Amino acid sequence: MPIRPASFRINDRFKRPVVRLAVLVTAGWLLVGCATAPEPKSAARIPLQSTGCGMEENSQGLPSLAPLMRRVTPAVVTVSAESSIQTEPPPFLKDPDFKRFLDQMGLPLPDWDPSERRQSVGSGVIVDARRGYVMTNEHLLKDANTITVTLTDRRSFRARKLASDPSTDVAILKIPPVDVIPLPFGDSNRLEVGDFVIAIGNPFGLGQTVTLGIVSAVGRSDIAGNQLGELIQTDASINPGNSGGPLIDLTGAVVGINTALIGPTGGNVGIGFAVPSNRAQTALKRVRK
């Protein structure tokens, strides 16, 4: 089954209102604590704040990733790319018999606008707030005439593409400086199968959504249609619209950029892919030189 880009496309002819949802946090099966937490030496409770793994206790005394999400989600943005394409009219509009029929009925030939506007919706992550650098997927921006970046506080900025790296499907956008704490990069080479990871993005244009999973495989390259080299495979839910959003570890560091999925219907079946952070930084290094 071929790999699919994880971007979400809306044609203006079929565009529907997008419902904005609050951040969803799925962390119930992490009640066992983080892998980095020390083993208790007694039955006394050890505060989760001391583990350094991003989990803290909520008001009910249960482990929660909510504090980590409050810290990292402001740096995750929605990226919208609008493009105009020229389309061919339906064959029947060129059919002389059809025109003759309309003439007999006293009806005009229908108008046809060859220009069709398309909007692709995905995600991005602020990696340098002072310079206004946003990392996203290159395929999301294909043929884009207008690029818009929207923050979690609903501020929107017109963006321009500074650099891209087709070999990793990563692009760097430029917006005005913003008062947001950017996300740091983690070392993707240290990822192991079984490590917990979190995908943040804008699936199906619903709004910012958080999903939790593990690293299912590393160095995955033997996938039909994959031209991006070795990828991180995860069962954290990645759907159309997650493209360009970060895959983070439990410290809040970016370890990958979500880019694709495999599924019979184009939706998530627990097989998503991210470009490792160590490779994704190629385009960023180019604009920082």
Known catalytic residues are 139, 169, 243
With left for phi above 0 and alpha for psi between -120 and 50, is residue 61 left, alpha or beta?
left
List own/partner pairs for 221-230 with CB under 8 A and 24 or more apart. 223/2, 223/3, 223/262, 223/273, 224/1, 224/2, 224/3, 225/2, 225/3, 225/4, 226/3, 226/260, 226/273, 228/167, 228/168, 228/169, 228/259, 228/260, 228/275, 229/167, 229/168, 229/279, 230/276, 230/279
To 10 degrees, the CA torsion angle through 251, 255, 257, 261?
A: -100
Residue written as token pair 């390259």: 221
